[in-house]
């Protein structure tokens, strides 16, 4: 449809058409919340200007917040530009894969901390906090897991794993994503629990057990429950918010040593936000005495237009809108993006674009130059209330 038209005309057409789509949705949808945000609406006039040159970690710290990113050990050790950017921008570092079962436990009786240790000492050397990810998850379990772990020995494996890994890093971890993604209402199980190997092997109490074991081995780390698909204005995300809140309430009422909720925030660039519902959810979580961390922020641009200037504005608008809602809640203490530069992002594998152009989900471009996303994050920090 956009063939043979100039980039400006294409942009105009896109904005006009998508504006129409948004307006129609608002006009026809009786049940649509009046403060429904659609990111396909025109943001071409939005001002992404930022004052000064301070890196993100400094802007965050000025508000009592922590900013950082996830990163792989191999690329951090080999890519000098990434290293310099991480050191400049980040106040916290988290290993993208290195502490998952698959890598940290190559055999039932072997723990390999070499990559994790390298990252912990990198973080220390550059005055960054270190955040652990993750101790209990249904994905990235080693090949041997299925053969070896059964109902009889699962508790022993889980307790031994959490104890060994958290003890190894005790005193070095600012926070631990203890349990990751335990809720999935679509699976149709009681309390919205996900059909995970841990649930099958141990029943629902595996969650509480994990926190008790972690707290005993590393009493100083902030223990986080980390979850995805909580952010958007869809029935699925709403169901997940409800189920997660119930889980957190139950854990707290039983005295479980749980300190924070991690909202992953892999946002859909074409998705919508409902500020009222999101704010209410965060404030309900906060009222349980929990802190909140944005743990894996990035924006999926798979369905956004090809033109990278238009696309960057839409991605940055999503970042700024989302962060300005979330950072209003004083219980939110940290923002971590899942990567820092578009050169290294899991989304290039998971949600590639059909036009073949590279995805652009992160603050720095593939040459490590700040994009509008960087500005959007900087602006959200600059405008955030002080903790
Ligand atoms: C992803 C990593 O980024 C990829 O490199 C890996 O292949 C799969 O896992 N939610 C999580 C993270 O909690 O651990 C995932 O990380 C992204 C989704």
Q: What is the C-alpha separation between 228 and 186, in angstroms, rounded?
A: 13
pLDDT tens per residue, range 209-267: 999 999 999 999 999 999 999 999 999 999 999 999 999 999 999 999 999 999 999 99
pLDDT tens per residue, range 128-161: 999 999 999 999 999 999 999 999 999 999 999 9
Which ligand 1 atom lies nearest to the CA of residue 180?
A: 13
Catalytic (active site) residue 98: no
Give residue 11's pLDDT band: very low, low, confident or very high (50, 70, 90). very low
CA 244 centroid distance within chain: 16
337: Cβ below 6 Å to ligand 1?
no
Task: Return the best residue to mutate from 75, 95, 97 for the ligand 1 pocket (most ligand atoms within 8 A of CB).
Answer: 97
- H/E/C letters for each residue in 192-216? HECCCHHHHHHCCCHHHHHHHHHHH
Q: What is the C-alpha separation between 359 and 348, in angstroms, rounded?
A: 6
Q: What is the pTM of this model?
A: 0.90
Ligand 1: distance of its center to the CA of 52 in Å? Answer: 33
The residue assigned the tokens 């080999």 is: 78
Give residue 32's pLDDT band: very low, low, confident or very high (50, 70, 90). very low
- With 50 as the cut, is the pLDDT of residue 23 above it? no
Ligand 1: distance of its center to the CA of 226 in Å? Answer: 12
Task: Return the best residue to mutate from 73, 74, 96, 265 for the ligand 1 pocket (most ligand atoms within 8 A of CB).
Answer: 96
Domains and CATH numbers, the chain: 52-383 (3.20.20.80)
346: Cβ below 6 Å to ligand 1?
yes
pLDDT tens per residue, range 346-372: 999 999 999 999 999 999 999 999 999
Catalytic (active site) residue 329: no
pLDDT of residue 46: 87
225: Cβ below 6 Å to ligand 1?
no
- With 70 as the cut, is the pLDDT of residue 35 above it? no
pLDDT of residue 19: 35
Question: Which residue, by CA, sits nearest to atom 4 of ligand 1?
Answer: 346
Window from 26-35, 47-56, 149-158 with minimum mean pLDDT: 26-35
């Amino acid at each position: 449809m956009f063939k043979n038209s100039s980039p400006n005309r294409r942009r105009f057409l896109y904005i006009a058409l998508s504006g129409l789509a948004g307006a129609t949705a608002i006009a026809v949808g009786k049940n649509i919340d009046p403060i429904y945000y659609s990111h396909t609406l025109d943001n071409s006039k939005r001002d992404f200007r930022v004052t000064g040159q301070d890196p993100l970690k400094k802007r965050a710290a000025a508000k009592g917040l922590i900013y950082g990113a996830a990163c792989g050990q191999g690329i951090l050790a080999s890519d000098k530009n990434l290293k310099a950017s991480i050191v400049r921008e980040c106040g916290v570092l988290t290993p993208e894969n290195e502490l998952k079962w698959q890598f940290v436990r190559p055999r039932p009786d072997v723990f390999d901390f070499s990559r994790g240790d390298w990252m912990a000492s990198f973080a220390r050397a550059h005055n960054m906090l270190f955040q652990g990810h993750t101790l209990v998850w249904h994905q990235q379990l080693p090949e041997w897991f299925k053969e070896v772990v059964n109902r009889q020995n699962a508790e022993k494996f889980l307790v031994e794993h959490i104890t060994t890994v958290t003890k190894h890093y005790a005193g070095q971890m600012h926070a631990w994503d203890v349990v990751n993604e335990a809720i999935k209402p679509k699976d149709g199980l009681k309390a919205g629990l996900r059909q995970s190997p841990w649930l099958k092997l141990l029943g629902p109490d595996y969650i509480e057990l994990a926190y008790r074991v972690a707290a005993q081995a590393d009493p100083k780390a902030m223990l986080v429950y980390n979850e995805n698909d909580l952010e958007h204005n869809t029935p699925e995300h709403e169901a997940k918010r409800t189920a997660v809140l119930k889980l957190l309430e139950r854990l707290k009422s039983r005295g479980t040593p749980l300190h924070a909720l991690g909202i992953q925030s892999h946002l859909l660039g074409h998705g919508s936000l409902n500020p009222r519902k999101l704010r209410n959810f965060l404030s309900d979580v906060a009222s349980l005495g929990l802190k909140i961390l944005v743990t894996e922020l990035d924006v999926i641009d798979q369905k956004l237009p090809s033109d990278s200037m238009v696309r960057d504005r839409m991605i940055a608008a999503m970042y700024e809108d989302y962060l300005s809602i979330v950072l209003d809640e004083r219980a939110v203490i940290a923002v971590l993006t899942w990567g820092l530069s578009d050169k290294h992002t899991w989304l290039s594998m998971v949600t590639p674009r059909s036009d073949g152009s590279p995805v652009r989900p992160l603050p720095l471009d593939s040459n490590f130059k700040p994009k509008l996303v960087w500005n959007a994050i900087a602006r959200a920090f600059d405008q955030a209330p002080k903790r």
